[in-house]
Amino acid sequence: MPKREDPPQYSDEELGRFDTLMSIVEILRAPGGCPWDREQTHSSLKRNLLEESYEVLEAIDAEDPGALSEELGDLLVQVAFHTQIAQEAGEFDLAQVLTQINGKLVRRHPHVFGDETAADAREVERNWEKIKQAEREQKGERKSPVEGIPKDLPAMTHAQLLQDRVGHAGFEWEEVSGVLDKLVEEVEELRQAATHEEKVLELGDVFFVLVNLARWLDIHAEDALRQANRRFATRYKRMEELAAGRGLDFAALPLAEKETFWQEAKKMEKG
């Protein structure tokens, strides 16, 4: 059996560079590297990419810089792996990835890298969509604003991106009061829905309008709901702990007493 080469040793300075990450991934996927890493494909890594993205979001929500730094590193690993897999297949390499994104950032910020101006962030967003549309037309792609949205996005995120795009195209309420009126209208239609199928449709419309309201309030609907889920879980566990500390079976308590524990848990949350 041939003698195995000594593994490379990295200095602290080298560990702080992106090219070192690419080198490590290349070694992992090379003959004699890691069996698990060698068998991965773009498709097999989709779940990992999604999980790492959500862990980044969780670190942001937790306002934990240390965790965010670590999770962003895990996300970079996914970028490195997909790039290495593509390079091995002769599809593209890191230079092409960087050239495309750097060129795109410069091209879509003419108010920074060119002679144009933008009064505020909203104008930047409108200009961004116009530039994207111009790029599509240059490629012979005449897509509607509602096309090209990743189908696997969470439904709430998909709805918000959909509404952002048509809003930039001019299909938008003039003020938030129009959204609120529409919400009242949709809730009333939900009240009047007679069949299960009608209720599904009307509830979907309520969700859709709520996402639009989030846009008008400059809130990312998916983030807001995720934080609400986390708050609920935290409060529920605290209610159980409070009840157990008083020798009570929380699940067996009447709803009125559970509500008392809920309010107590909320007060504890505020310090």
Q: Which helix (H) or strand (E) holds 23?
A: helix 18-29
pTM (2 d.p.): 0.72
- Cβ atoms 222, 244 nearer than 8 A: no
**How confident is residue 260, by pLDDT bands cut at 50, 70 and 90?**
very high
The dihedral of CA 214, 218, 222, 223: what is its sign? Answer: negative
Distances (CA, A) of 138 to 141, 163, 199, 231, 235: 7, 25, 44, 47, 53
Q: What pLDDT does residue 142 have? A: 65
DSSP for residue 89: T
Q: Is 177 exposed, middle or buried (0-12, 13-18, 19+ CB in 10 A)?
A: exposed
Convert the pLDDT of each residue in 187-241 to its tens digit: 999 999 999 999 999 999 999 999 999 999 999 999 999 999 999 999 999 999 9
CA angle, 23 as apex, 19 and 25 as ends, to 5°?
Answer: 115
Q: What pLDDT does residue 84 have? A: 97
Q: CA-CA distance, 168 to 175, in Å (whole number)?
A: 14
Taking alpha carbons only, the member of 50, 61, 48 closest to residue 233 is: 61
> Tokens 């779940």 appear where?
47
Convert the pLDDT of each residue in 98-137 to its tens digit: 999 999 999 999 999 999 999 898 889 888 888 887 887 7
Q: What pLDDT does residue 127 have? A: 87
Q: CA-CA distance, 176 to 180, in Å (whole number)?
A: 6
**How confident is residue 1, by pLDDT bands cut at 50, 70 and 90?**
very low
**How confident is residue 174, by pLDDT bands cut at 50, 70 and 90?**
very high
DSSP letters for 156-196:
HHHHHHHHHHHHHTT---SSHHHHHHHHHHHHHHHHH--SH
**How confident is residue 248, by pLDDT bands cut at 50, 70 and 90?**
very high
